[in-house]
Structure 1
Amino acid sequence: MTLLDQDGVRLTVDPENDGAVATVTLANPDKRNAQSPAMWRALAAAGRELPGSVRVCVLRGEGRSFSAGLDRRAFTPEGFEGEPSFLDLARGPAADMDAVIAEYQEAFTWWRRPDVVTIAAVQGHAIGAGFQLALACDLRVCADDAQFAMRETSLGLVPDLTGTHPLVNLVGYARALEICATGRFVHAQEAERCGLANLTVPRAELAAATADLAAALVAAPRDAVIETKALLQGALQRDYEEQRVAERAAQGRRLHALAGLGE
């Protein structure tokens, strides 16, 4: 069932398992799923349109590449039709530029919402904004031809689409700095070794491996998965003793629910 199809983004929900699995597809393969402000608005809309039945959302790209990053028109004086060019933004008030970038970031923020586990299925290039979109998801399954690169610094910019926080958490500060500052490619095998990828499979097996992971996630009780995701996300901000308290509180809620006692 297709719920959204606009500006190179398609949202579908599988009717099996009571609509527990949704797929967001980057559907502009002729441009290797290059991103634009219109695509970012469509990605944000996909998050808003996600039905409450969805427990797992898969993000994939059609064609040879997951996403080759920002459409090069962004770096021209003309920019995108009907959009302020990046150069115009730079010349305008700082508050306006901040507000526009914050709007762009909305395409990347909802993937870590507490009630859904998100999986990026990555093949080919995931460059710049494409890399950051893959990082926005909770989990990443990569084809053996996947290539990640953070090119922003090489262009005199910084990664500003929410990718820096998950990158540091996944690979550590020193590796993250080296990846971003050099702009080099991180190939699939290295991505798995350093924690960027949960799993690397042959290109022909990417869809099946992603579906298997989604099915395994749906098999567990939903509320237990939600509580576990919240615990693990919060562990990044808590110290050891605070995490112990959080674990006890979460387990108390689960035991009350299983006993039919409510909160």
Structure 2
Amino acid sequence: MTDTSPDGWVRTDRDGAVLTVTLDRPEQLNAQTPATWAALRRVADTLDDDVRVVVVRGEGRAFSAGLDRSLFSTGEGSGTLGELAAMPEGLAQERIRSYQQGFRWLRSPGIVSVAAVQGHAIGAGAQLALACDLRIFTEDAQLRLPEVTLGLVPDLTGTSNLVDLVGYGRALEMCLTGRAVGASEARAIGIANLVVPLDDLDGAVADLVAALLAPSAGASRATAELIRSAVHNDHEEQDEAERVAQVRRIADLVSGR
């Protein structure tokens, strides 16, 4: 099954328990617009209980080079900085919240999301990769959050996800300098789970997806939920979460579910 959303340049392909979401604007290095984020948000509405893995990709030689340059206009075009600046503050914040929803669902309970990153992952592209649970980089991949150099801030869920992955100090340095992080460094600091040659990307993604699907859905989902909660829970809270999850899993195993 294939569904294409021309206005957002987002394509989805479903193969059993795996949903692949592809940014499909290769001639513009998969530059993103508000239509892209709306299309991503709509993908979340298509999820059902049978989807276990979501793979996020970019068509062509780049994962995503970030915002479409037209959005930096101070004029009144749709989605531009000028349009946001002209809105009442509360309305502008609500607009950005709707954009963030296109990213935050990638850590929804019940799914594991995997970003397959080649070439540039800049700005909104970097934040889309960071929004996923896991990331495979090609050797030529570079991740960069240059918003501060443009007088802006990362606002598409990137700051919390980056701090969770690399810690406060590294996240602060990366965001305040806007420098590029190459694939080998991304692996060393915990952003990339795996780095492979470009020609091996498809195979590496397929191998990871197969490994993620191998355990039972119930155990996998319960474990993923525990790992996510462990990032922010204190030890007592996390110990309780483990107890609750394990009692439920034992009951399910005994009952044959």
Same fold (TM over 0.5): yes
RMSD, aligned CA = 1.3
Offset at 1:238? 1.5
Equivalents in 2 of 1:226, 1:176: separation in Å? 28
| Matched residues, number | 256
Residue 201 in 1 paired to residue 202 in 2?
Answer: no
Offset at 1:84? 4.4
1:136 matched residue in structure 2: 131
TM-score (norm 1): 0.94
Offset at 1:230? 0.9
Residue 69 in 1 paired to residue 66 in 2?
Answer: yes
Task: Give 3-state SS (helix, strand or coil) of 1:259's partner.
Answer: helix
Residue 119 in 1 paired to residue 120 in 2?
Answer: no
Counterpart residue identity of residue 75, structure 1: F
1:94 matched residue in structure 2: 89
Counterpart residue identity of residue 2, structure 1: T
Of 207, 213, 238, the residue aligned with 1:212 is 207
Offset at 1:92? 2.2
Equivalents in 1 of 2:71, 2:147: separation in Å? 13
Of 233, 246, 252, the residue aligned with 1:238 is 233
Of 33, 41, 47, the residue aligned with 2:38 is 41
**8 Å Cα contact 1:143/1:202 also seen in 2:** yes
**8 Å Cα contact 1:143/1:200 also seen in 2:** yes
Residue 3 in 1 paired to residue 3 in 2?
Answer: yes
Equivalents in 1 of 2:151, 2:68: separation in Å? 16
Counterpart residue identity of residue 14, structure 2: V
Equivalents in 2 of 1:171, 1:22: separation in Å? 27
2:220 matched residue in structure 1: 225
Counterpart residue identity of residue 45, structure 2: R
Of 22, 25, 42, the residue aligned with 1:25 is 22
1:108 matched residue in structure 2: 103
TM-score (norm 2): 0.96
> Which runs of at least 4 in structure 1 moved beyond 4 Å after TM superposition?
none
Equivalents in 2 of 1:29, 1:79: separation in Å? 27
User: Tell me, which stretches of 5 or more residues in structure 2 are unaligned?
Assistant: none
**8 Å Cα contact 1:3/1:49 also seen in 2:** no
Offset at 1:85? 2.6
Equivalents in 2 of 1:79, 1:39: separation in Å? 19
- Alpha carbons of 1:62 and 1:79: their partners in 2 closer, same or farther (altered >3 Å)? farther
- Alpha carbons of 1:79 and 1:91: their partners in 2 closer, same or farther (altered >3 Å)? closer
Equivalents in 1 of 2:153, 2:47: separation in Å? 30
2:177 matched residue in structure 1: 182
Residue 158 in 1 paired to residue 159 in 2?
Answer: no
Equivalents in 2 of 1:138, 1:119: separation in Å? 6
Equivalents in 2 of 1:27, 1:58: separation in Å? 14
**8 Å Cα contact 2:9/2:23 also seen in 1:** yes
Percent identity for Structure 1 against Structure 2 = 52
- Alpha carbons of 1:47 and 1:134: their partners in 2 closer, same or farther (altered >3 Å)? same
- Alpha carbons of 1:219 and 1:152: their partners in 2 closer, same or farther (altered >3 Å)? same
**8 Å Cα contact 2:65/2:120 also seen in 1:** yes
Counterpart residue identity of residue 105, structure 1: Q
1:103-162 per-position Cα deviation (integer Å, ceiling 9, x unaligned):
111110110001000000000000000000000000000101000000101101100000
Stretch deviating more after TM superposition (103-112 or 253-262): 253-262
